[in-house]
Structure 1
């Protein structure tokens, strides 16, 4: 009996202690996103900024209620692999991948498990990231923004109506760049224009290849290609010496020296991807989440280049750029 009473006293003592000092709930862990970018150039940097803005618009603020581990591979394939593996080993809740090589590296590392949101990938299915755009069927979805090629070809022909041969330059290792370049080539040939294709293996090749190209063509198309975007200023310098017009696929490439574009906003590609990332974190499945296409474009003009090249921009294009697009002075 005495033992029972003693045990009861001990029990009541513990009960009193825990009532007065309740166990603190475990701190809620904030989600972690690994954000992988192929390299730094204006187009990809704008996608990055848009991605963060998209997260914020859905209630996720980096440093407050979500952690974003940003890694820039500086165009190094081995870095892409190492950084992707790091995200998996550290158990990131989701990976954001900017540009096709980043997306492919992340997908290889994730092995179908960790959700991946791609941004700025021209051809997700062709890059073997999804089974179809409407129903990805994998751990990957995100945004794609293929250039409005008919508009770009029409723009080039309006700016250089005498052009008989168009030069198209792309990076041999960039799937998205090659896809965009060859699709433009097919469209141009179908319209009756001759096309000459040129490739670079990296940005160091641009000077030499560009010099050869400007001596053989009447105008140039610069596709959605990371290597070309990174070396845009070199391409422009070479083309300007021979007074050759460059129509570019991205607004940021016009800012870096192209004459004109009819382009979608790279920031918008990132923003939609960031919004999709937030929704996947909240439980939406990538397998049934369609790839989102940003399609709306506007004219973008580099007025300084127009003066250098002595090209008069048609009034309707200038008016559209002023009211809806952008003009770089």
Structure 2
């Protein structure tokens, strides 16, 4: 775990009655996991969550079982998973990403839900409209938001390619998180004197076609927190490498996969923060008494190999700013 990346999440201080290992061992708790799709960032969230529970004394195969479900990018399947959990009644649901969290909340009001990797819990209807990071929800829900500093990201990426005035992005409008981020990207682009060209997709199979449609129209591409695009980032990388289009992301895991840079967060720590909240719930604290939080600390990661493949020379001053540089 890189020391340069620190989870800036709110740490809730709740007085708990002592719970010895023997007390935990008497009952096996069941955790239902629902993930919208598998990609590096969301997989890291899942690993971080489970690591936190292990550290809190909840060990798979000893006193905990997981029912891991993947909606594979299908919103109808996400709803079906949530409905099945409502019938099965696990002790807790870990919902990873916005669409699965929306479904988990919609189809049950009693099973504790701990969300993670949700961009805008308020806008997505997962927490109340008057809620804010650090506030208790008073419901069966708590969790961790991964809202990105979009304006600062765009400002940073523009320094890599100062000549680029037209930027492209690809997203699925059915994902509320993507709509929130793209709205912020529009505002950021306008304030920076840039033009944002948007291409929408409905399924992962459309992502490469969308990337190709941006060739000749934009001088750089920035990918949002859109799960459809991130899950198919390899397709975007292929197009960008072939046509020398600089590609930027918002999660650090995407840098290793071929983006030039990301000013983003360590998603393992997003999951770890959510797992700490889940441990409190499994020890008897009501989820509505555990404030939801937002990650606040980010790091700049650069991939020089990707930069060379996409025709970009990274300035020395940007390398010095980076928390990590991949050769």
TM-score, scaled to structure 1: 0.87
> Which residue is 2:301 aligned to?
300
Equivalent in 28, 31, 43 of residue 33 of structure 1: 31
Instruction: Kindly state the Cα deviation for residue 314 of structure 1 after the two structures are TM-superposed.
Output: 2.3
> Which residue is 1:127 aligned to?
124
Q: 1:282-323: per-residue Cα shift (whole Å, max 9, x none)?
A: 2222223221111211111112111112322222332343xx
CA RMSD, 1 decimal: 1.6
| Alignment partner of 1:53 is 2:54 | no
Q: Secondary structure at the match of 2:118?
A: coil
The answer to whether the 8 A contact 1:118-1:142 is kept is yes
Q: Distance between the aligned counterparts of 1:90 and 1:145, measured in 2?
A: 29
> Which residue is 1:95 aligned to?
93
The answer to whether the 8 A contact 1:137-1:287 is kept is yes
The answer to whether the 8 A contact 1:298-1:320 is kept is no
> Which residue is 1:182 aligned to?
183
Higher mean C-alpha displacement, 145-154 vs 253-262: 145-154
Unaligned runs of 5+ in 2: 1-24
Q: Secondary structure at the match of 2:58?
A: coil
The answer to whether the 8 A contact 2:42-2:97 is kept is yes
> Which residue is 1:239 aligned to?
240
Q: 1:221-253: per-residue Cα shift (whole Å, max 9, x none)?
A: 100110010111111111222211111111111
The answer to whether the 8 A contact 2:138-2:289 is kept is yes
Q: Secondary structure at the match of 1:120?
A: strand
The answer to whether the 8 A contact 2:223-2:249 is kept is yes
Aligned pairs for 1:308-323 within 5 A: 308-321=309-322
Q: Distance between the aligned counterparts of 2:125 and 2:39, measured in 1?
A: 25
Q: Distance between the aligned counterparts of 1:309 and 1:74, measured in 2?
A: 30
The answer to whether the 8 A contact 1:168-1:185 is kept is no
> Which residue is 2:143 aligned to?
142
The answer to whether the 8 A contact 2:73-2:203 is kept is no
Aligned pairs for 1:1-329 within 5 A: 28-110=26-108, 112-131=109-128, 132-133=131-132, 134-321=135-322, 324=323, 326-329=324-327
Q: 1:187-206: per-residue Cα shift (whole Å, max 9, x none)?
A: 11122212121111111111
Q: Distance between the aligned counterparts of 2:307 and 2:90, measured in 1?
A: 47
Greater CA radius of gyration, 1 or 2? 1
Q: Distance between the aligned counterparts of 1:188 and 1:262, measured in 2?
A: 16
Instruction: Kindly state the Cα deviation for residue 81 of structure 1 after the two structures are TM-superposed.
Output: 2.3
Q: Secondary structure at the match of 1:80?
A: helix
Q: Distance between the aligned counterparts of 2:199 and 2:76, measured in 1?
A: 26
The answer to whether the 8 A contact 1:55-1:275 is kept is yes
The answer to whether the 8 A contact 1:169-1:181 is kept is no
> Which residue is 1:5 aligned to?
none
Higher mean C-alpha displacement, 216-225 vs 116-125: 216-225
Unaligned runs of 5+ in 1: 1-26
Q: Secondary structure at the match of 1:79?
A: helix
Instruction: Kindly state the Cα deviation for residue 120 of structure 1 after the two structures are TM-superposed.
Output: 0.2
The answer to whether the 8 A contact 1:130-1:137 is kept is no
Q: Which protein is richer in helix relative to its size?
A: 1
